[in-house]
Structure 1
Amino acid sequence: MPHAAVIVNPTKVPDLDLRRAEVTAELAKHDWAEPLWFETTIEDNGQGLARRAVDEQVDLVFTCGGDGTVRAVIDGLVGSGVPVAVLSAGTGNLLAQNLALGTTLAEGIATGVTGRTRAVDLGEIDGETFAVMAGIGLDAAMLENTTETSKSRFGALAYVFGALSRLRDRPFRVTLRLDDGPPLRRRVRMVLVGNVGRVQGGLHLFPAAEPDDGRLDVLVLSPYGLRDWLGVAVRLFTRSRREDRRIERFTARTIRVDTARPMPRQYDGDLIKPGTTTRIAVTPKALLIRVPAETAQ
């Protein structure tokens, strides 16, 4: 019988015993063996557990947690040849949303065991792997202001509250270097680099993003006042591709961002130490992930 491992973040799942029984039962419906069960800890956020699962020669690894847990498990599986499947939990689940992996437990299990394996790109920011997005400026500051308590109470709205509290932060100067192109100098609120295009609330920041095109998408936001912010919001919600000084988009394989002062930074919802130089690159087709069989190749 095929054999899977499940790596779960216990802080994102309210009843672990129930979830384990449900997962085991769903897998049994598809004639899969009872899975190995690993719970993340402060010491191991999923990366080491994923490597342990590979050593156990499992056919598939399920990850169940927020975006940070998914990212850590993926990092542990890169190069192993073992695919990952995502069981949604937490408030983000952006990879699952972008790849239409299902929102219920039954859908997630079915995608894992009956779907197809798709090779998608990964990003790397200062040596750390990300599957969804990395950012400098406002989005990282938003995460600084979004507590676990507020996420538990308000769900995805907690990120909106976190962002609103930082809209008055002053812009910062950046120099962007995309691949071998000339330096681009801007005064911005945020630089976001994405492997996929969709964030919370169904907002498409990168309407043309593809997770397996060997490139990363870059969004530069430079609104200066309320009117500018309203214009940016309208264009983002309507998926407009029109650009001007307030909103610019690029694609690149390598990105370097130099800022005039240390800025908050994040990758897949995890904060990293503020810095003035950030290097980001794509690793093509580095991740094997199970997606629904009927989705586009």
Structure 2
Amino acid sequence: MTGPRSAVVYNPAKVPDIDHLRRIIGEGLSSVGWPEPSWYETTPEDPGKGQAERAVKEGAELVFACGGDGTVMAVVTALAGSDVTMAVLPAGTGNLLAANLGLGADPATGVQVAIEGGRRRIDVGVVEGGRCFAVMAGMGFDAQMLEGTSETAKKRIGWLAYVGGAVRHLRDRPMRARIVLDGGPPMPRHARTVIVGNVGRLQGGVRLLQEADPADGKLDVAILSPNNLGHWARLSWAVVRRRKRVPLMETYSASRVEIHTRQIQPRQLDGDLIDPGRHLKIHVKPSALLLCVPVPAGDPDLAYDVSSAAEAAEDIREAARE
């Protein structure tokens, strides 16, 4: 057989039918003569980084990441800076990177995208301790929203569950923060949240950062400062309408971002909570991740048209059902 050696790093808690996933991937790869992949299961202690590193040591040239946002983030951290390709197979609820790729929740389409051979290098953000993210990091309200959303609700109604988590914290007090961009003078703010993005789309297809480009060597920063329900309504309406100027939101771009707060705040990377803290220091690692993307690759925010891959994926699903 010819083709790259591949591996699958999967989270068993996010994959409802592992046998079906094995058939989907196996049928897809065998249809083009690629060898069978190796399989690596994540654990609560290691959500995917160690498994992806082991896969690379054992010869994998392509790693499929199948799980929630935490699994994808762990694999990104393992592969950033290497020549090993990453392919996203959506599972879980948030699926932020998959959403920005336009993959939806269909692993067969993700397999077909990998087979078709579209590849693109994108930047990644790096936080203290070496953890990487491909979509967004945040401190404040966005992490509170994640913290306030139950796993049960996410399984029942998908990304809409985050709305409930958000409503619980709309009236919370702003945090006193200092934001430092590229070593410049501190910018004091009474902010509800500070988001540092590599791409621009949130859950539900909402685009927060209009200018975000994952291959420009920069990170985009949004400082949101609403302090009552009316402010939230104005800000949300402008974001949904994709207005260039959004009230109560400042945007910047930088290679290095520091967020310092007086009190401990919740923090998140790519939709996955990390330990709360008073600081979040981030820098960009340009062109660090080689990613499978749909063909043709023309949209700078990675929201490509995957219709051709989706049609071809039906053949994979049919074969897997037989």
TM-score range (shorter-chain normalised) is: over 0.9
Q: What pairs with 1:224-263 in structure 2 (closer than 5 Å)?
A: 224-244=227-247, 246-263=248-265
Unaligned segments of structure 1, at least 5 residues: none
Deviation sequence 1:199-218 (CA, Å, 0-9, x none): 11110010110011000011
Once residues 94 and 159 of structure 1 are traced to their aligned partners in structure 2, the CA distance between those partners, rounded to angstroms, is 13
The amino acid across from 2:242 in the alignment is R
| Closer/same/farther in 2, CA of residues 28 and 79 from structure 1, 3 Å limit | same
Aligned length: 296
2:133 paired residue number: 130
1:292 paired residue number: 294
TM-score of the aligned structures, taking structure 1 as reference length: 0.95
Q: What pairs with 1:148-187 in structure 2 (closer than 5 Å)?
A: 148-187=151-190
Matched, 1:269 2:243: no
Question: What is the CA distance between 1:117 and its match in structure 2?
Answer: 1.9
Matched, 1:9 2:11: yes
Question: What is the CA distance between 1:236 and its match in structure 2?
Answer: 0.7
Q: Tell me if the contact between 1:101 and 1:291 (Cα under 8 Å) persists in the aligned partners.
A: no
TM-score of the aligned structures, taking structure 2 as reference length: 0.88
Q: What pairs with 1:1-297 in structure 2 (closer than 5 Å)?
A: 1-2=2-3, 3-101=5-103, 103-127=105-129, 128-244=131-247, 246-296=248-298
Q: Tell me if the contact between 1:137 and 1:263 (Cα under 8 Å) persists in the aligned partners.
A: yes
Once residues 56 and 30 of structure 1 are traced to their aligned partners in structure 2, the CA distance between those partners, rounded to angstroms, is 22
Once residues 116 and 270 of structure 1 are traced to their aligned partners in structure 2, the CA distance between those partners, rounded to angstroms, is 27
Question: What is the CA distance between 1:125 and its match in structure 2?
Answer: 2.0
Once residues 289 and 43 of structure 1 are traced to their aligned partners in structure 2, the CA distance between those partners, rounded to angstroms, is 26
Determine helix, strand or coil for the equivalent of 1:236. helix
Once residues 126 and 142 of structure 1 are traced to their aligned partners in structure 2, the CA distance between those partners, rounded to angstroms, is 23
Question: What is the CA distance between 1:44 and its match in structure 2?
Answer: 2.0
Once residues 17 and 161 of structure 1 are traced to their aligned partners in structure 2, the CA distance between those partners, rounded to angstroms, is 33
Question: What is the CA distance between 1:243 and its match in structure 2?
Answer: 4.2
The amino acid across from 1:129 in the alignment is C
The amino acid across from 1:14 in the alignment is P
Deviation sequence 1:131-186 (CA, Å, 0-9, x none): 11111100111111112222111210111111111111111111111113222111
Deviation sequence 1:59-116 (CA, Å, 0-9, x none): 2111111111011011111233110001111111111221334642232111112222
Q: Tell me if the contact between 1:102 and 1:108 (Cα under 8 Å) persists in the aligned partners.
A: no
Once residues 262 and 160 of structure 2 are traced to their aligned partners in structure 1, the CA distance between those partners, rounded to angstroms, is 31
**Aligned CA-pair RMSD:** 1.4
Which one is further off, 8-17 or 97-106? 97-106
Once residues 103 and 161 of structure 1 are traced to their aligned partners in structure 2, the CA distance between those partners, rounded to angstroms, is 22
Q: Tell me if the contact between 1:189 and 1:222 (Cα under 8 Å) persists in the aligned partners.
A: yes
| Closer/same/farther in 2, CA of residues 54 and 9 from structure 1, 3 Å limit | same
Runs of 4+ displaced beyond 4 Å: none
Task: Quote the sequence identity (%).
Answer: 50
Once residues 14 and 246 of structure 2 are traced to their aligned partners in structure 1, the CA distance between those partners, rounded to angstroms, is 38
Determine helix, strand or coil for the equivalent of 1:155. helix
Determine helix, strand or coil for the equivalent of 2:200. coil
Determine helix, strand or coil for the equivalent of 2:144. helix
Determine helix, strand or coil for the equivalent of 1:285. strand
Determine helix, strand or coil for the equivalent of 2:265. strand
Q: Tell me if the contact between 1:9 and 1:40 (Cα under 8 Å) persists in the aligned partners.
A: yes
| Closer/same/farther in 2, CA of residues 243 and 183 from structure 1, 3 Å limit | farther
Once residues 282 and 128 of structure 2 are traced to their aligned partners in structure 1, the CA distance between those partners, rounded to angstroms, is 6
Once residues 180 and 80 of structure 1 are traced to their aligned partners in structure 2, the CA distance between those partners, rounded to angstroms, is 28
Once residues 36 and 126 of structure 1 are traced to their aligned partners in structure 2, the CA distance between those partners, rounded to angstroms, is 31
The amino acid across from 2:286 in the alignment is P
Unaligned segments of structure 2, at least 5 residues: 301-322
Q: Tell me if the contact between 2:170 and 2:229 (Cα under 8 Å) persists in the aligned partners.
A: no
